[in-house]
Amino acid sequence: MTLTVGPLTLTPPVFLAPLAGITDMPFRTLVSGFGAGLVVSEMVASQEMVQAKPGVREKAELGFGVANTAVQLAGREAHWMAEAARQVEANGATLIDINMGCPAKKVTSASGAGASGSALMKDLDHALTLIEAVVGAVSIPVTLKTRLGWDDNMLNAAELARRAEGAGVQMITIHGRTRCQFYKGMADWAAIRGVKDAVSVPVIANGDIVDTKSARTALDRSGADGVMVGRGAQGKPWLLAQIAADLFGGAAPEVPTGTAFSDMVSGHYEAILTFYGRELGLKVARKHLGWYMDVAGTGPHLRRAILTAKTPQEVLALLPDALSQHPQERDAA
């Protein structure tokens, strides 16, 4: 099964969600290597990006020109959103995603990043000015990621989606929670059906999709055209490809076990160190190593030794023993 977004063909319709501090270039590259229809960059604040005049490193982080990668922009002012969109297109981006779903207080608060992210759902007229500005600034496809609404008294995702489609947005991803829910409770996939019924562009279901079973249920309840996986991929970069094979056919990924699992994690660890540099890389890598050890069922002694190691050499020497067991968490078909 494929999705068409402008001139782009996104196959399979199983996408990696943007996660701040997690879906950086090394992780997106690893997930793409197993197979994903689309990976989305971490959210980029439009005004800060334009004023900082990004250089080579920033371009590498966003994945300009990398196949099946969307650059996600956030902001509150149409001028800065349009300028950032022009900038990323000029640097080779093939798809822009607009963030109107982030629930973080520093993003939604007027005293933070300017009441952006999911706060824009409280003022759809203003939200549309941002969408129109981005669509009008570029020739590449523009998509939108949002939530069901601000709270239970403001469930306006379908209205926003309908107006966004009219403004030229070519795909819409809905996280099945309101902003005020943050990540509590369970995502309401059935509520996404209202958005699907309101538009003709592809709709992607997001929220609590952690395996094939949850992906299938999300598709059935929402009627969506595809799914977006976020936290479920932590420690399991093959998960998207596994879900895609189970639901849409095609070759299943070779899930690494034993030595292959250890080698994959070591490769990801070294890619993180190369990307961030030794000092910062040691810190950034710890959360990923923790998730991999969760999957492997690593004992507490080895886990502690790896997460407190002071040098990359110590970590790499311990990983084979720590990850020697087969990953214990498997996708339930």
Active-site residue list: 102
What are the residues facing 5 on neighbouring strands? Answer: 8
319, two tokens: 């990983």
Contacts of 4 (CB under 8 A, 6+ apart): 10, 202
**Token pair in block for residue 216:** 């299938």
Phi, psi of 57 (to 5 degrees): -60, -45
Write down the residue that tokens 């970590």 correspond to: 315
How many other C-beta atoms are found inside a 10 Å radius of the C-beta of residue 296? Answer: 25
Q: Output the CA torsion 49→18→169→59 (10° steps).
A: 40
CB distance 227 to 204 below 8 Å? yes
**End-to-end CA, the chain:** 18
- CA dist 116 and 315 (Å) reads 39
- Which residues are paired to 227 by β-bridges? 14, 205
279 contact partners, CB below 8 Å, separation of at least 6: none
CA distance linking residue 243 with residue 292, whole number of Å: 19
What contacts 115, CB < 8 A, 6 or more positions away? 76, 108, 109
Pairing of strands 8-10, 3-5: antiparallel
